[in-house]
Amino acid sequence: MPIDPTLPYDDTNIFARILRGEMPCSKVYEDEHALAFNDIFPQAPTHVLVIPKGRYVSWDDFSERASAEEIAGFVRAVAKVARDKGLVADGYRLLANVGQHSGQEVAHLHVHIFAGGPLGPMLSR
């Protein structure tokens, strides 16, 4: 069920629980601004999620409310995860779902990193 990204941040969402250490994750990277972990239902040979440490519902919320330092730290963390996993040479795809039409299911901003082989068309219609 897609979330409504206009609602206030809900601290019970699953990624908030992962950030608080209440739920396990397959951690790939962590720094002061971001946590990266493997998606539990991978849709590509490599499928990593990168989330900011702050309480942001979506890309829309993050871009509006986060500090310049948080935004820079998060963007650099996404790129660092991809670089450290050796994905740059063969390429990768970033995706951030926002709201109902995108199918966003978790109400904490997350960027998907897909890689590990040809990823096919951008959208299947």
Which are the catalytic amino acids?
110
97 binds ligand AMP (CB under 6 A): yes
User: Minimum Å distance from CB 83 to ligand AMP?
Assistant: 21
In whole angstroms, what is the distance from residue 117 CA to residue 44 CA?
8
Measured from the Cβ of residue 55, the count of other Cβ atoms closer than 10 Å reads 18
Task: Return all residues near 17 (Cβ < 8 A) that are at least 6 apart.
Answer: 23
Please select the residue that binds ligand AMP; options are 73, 87, 104, 114, rule is CB under 6 A.
Answer: 104
Identify the bridge partners of residue 114 per DSSP, sorted by sequence position.
47, 93
* Beta carbons of 50 and 75 less than 8 angstroms apart: no
Please select the residue that binds ligand AMP; options are 39, 53, 65, 119, rule is CB under 6 A.
Answer: 39
- CB-count burial class (<10 Å; 0-12, 13-18, 19+) for 13: middle
The footprint of ligand AMP on residues 55-84 (CB under 6 A) is: none
105 binds ligand AMP (CB under 6 A): yes
Q: Which stretch binds ligand AMP (CB under 6 A): 51-59, 63-71, 82-90, 103-111?
A: 103-111
Residue among 37 and 92 whose Cβ is closer to ligand AMP: 37
User: Minimum Å distance from CB 55 to ligand AMP?
Assistant: 16
Per-residue DSSP letter, 102: G
- Site of interaction with ligand AMP (CB under 6 A): 14, 23, 25, 37, 39-41, 49, 97, 103-106
